[in-house]
């Protein structure tokens, strides 16, 4: 990474702000053979953070990468890493992923028996804590944990794969999560993940209240990352 890029990203803060949203390309759809170049091109295109999907073949029917690859990614980028843990028993790996450089660690309510303990541990280890819910899990399941959460992640596909179709009902859940956050923890970010494409879906998700928009296949399949970022920012 060049010095210029590091300086440019230095003040990039992912904080809730009226009228502002953040683009988080999901590396799941990047070309892993050329990962270094993909990271650089994504930064240069003006993305705000990297979304890193961790899958274990148990909670979701797919496997991806572990902490050592996260560590390698961290060593060449100054953008924040948003690590989405789609794994059973995430407590076992919090230290490893945060040690590897995760800035945000998001766990699923469906995988955490003692969710409050898990969230507290993420923060104690120095990362920001996100809590994700699957398409079939209601926003009401966040009612108690919202006070301690830095980010809520509304899944708009069933987790496991990139390139799936956006589930429209997620829009209503974004609105509900936004209301819940406004009422109980106004600083909490709302993130949406799955099937986000530039155009109508992107606009509707932002209008519903999404602060962070994950884009995997639409981003890395676009061919021109910079013009994609420009088009969604309009």
Q: Is 193 a catalytic residue?
A: yes
Taking the least distance from each CB to ligand DX5, the nearer of 143 and 231 is: 231
**How many CB atoms sit inside 10 A of residue 193's CB?**
26
Taking the least distance from each CB to ligand DX5, the nearer of 142 and 155 is: 155
Here the tokens at position 135 are: 């398409």
Can you tell me the distance from the alpha carbon of 184 to that of 230, in angstroms, rounded to the nearest whole number? Answer: 33
* Catalytic choice (48, 53, 150, 211): 53
Can you tell me the distance from the alpha carbon of 166 to that of 87, in angstroms, rounded to the nearest whole number? Answer: 22
Taking the least distance from each CB to Zn ion, the nearer of 1 and 161 is: 161
217 binds, among ligand DX5, Zn ion, none (CB under 5 to 8 A by kind): ligand DX5
Q: Is 211 a catalytic residue?
A: no
The binder of ligand DX5 chosen from 80, 90, 130, 159 (CB under 6 A): 159
The binder of ligand DX5 chosen from 215, 228, 229, 232 (CB under 6 A): 215
- 108 lies in the binding site for Zn ion (CB under 5 A): no
Can you tell me the distance from the alpha carbon of 184 to that of 192, in angstroms, rounded to the nearest whole number? Answer: 19
Can you tell me the distance from the alpha carbon of 35 to that of 64, in angstroms, rounded to the nearest whole number? Answer: 14
DSSP symbols for 106-151: EEEGGG-TTHHHHHHHHHHTTSEEEEEE-TTS-GGGGTTGGGG-SE
- 53 lies in the binding site for Zn ion (CB under 5 A): yes
Q: Beta strand 151-155 with 189-193: parallel, antiparallel or unpaired?
A: parallel
Taking the least distance from each CB to Zn ion, the nearer of 147 and 198 is: 198
Active-site residue set: 53, 193
Interface contacts to ligand DX5, rule CB under 6 A: 26, 28-29, 51, 53, 84, 157, 159-164, 193-196, 214-218
């Amino acid at each position: 990474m060049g010095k210029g890029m590091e300086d440019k990203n230095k003040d990039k803060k992912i904080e809730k702000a009226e009228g502002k949203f953040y683009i988080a390309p999901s590396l799941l759809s990047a070309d892993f053979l050329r990962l270094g170049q993909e990271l650089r091109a994504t930064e240069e295109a003006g993305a705000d953070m990297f979304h890193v999907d961790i899958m274990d073949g148990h909670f979701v029917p797919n496997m991806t990468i572990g902490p050592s690859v996260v560590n390698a990614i961290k060593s060449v980028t100054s953008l924040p890493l948003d690590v989405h843990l789609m794994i059973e028993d995430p407590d076992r790996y919090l230290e490893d992923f945060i040690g590897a450089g995760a800035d945000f660690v998001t766990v699923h309510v469906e995988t955490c028996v003692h969710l409050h303990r898990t969230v507290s541990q993420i923060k104690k280890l120095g990362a920001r804590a996100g809590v994700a819910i699957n398409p079939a899990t209601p926003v009401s399941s966040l009612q108690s944990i919202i006070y301690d959460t830095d980010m809520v992640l509304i899944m708009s596909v069933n987790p496991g794969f990139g390139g799936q179709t956006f589930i429209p009902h997620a829009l209503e859940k974004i609105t509900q999560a936004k209301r819940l956050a406004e009422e109980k923890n106004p600083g909490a970010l709302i993130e949406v993940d799955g099937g986000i494409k530039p155009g109508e879906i992107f606009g509707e998700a932002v209008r519903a209240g999404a602060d962070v928009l994950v884009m995997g296949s639409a981003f890395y399949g676009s061919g021109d990352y910079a013009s994609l970022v420009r088009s969604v920012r309009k």
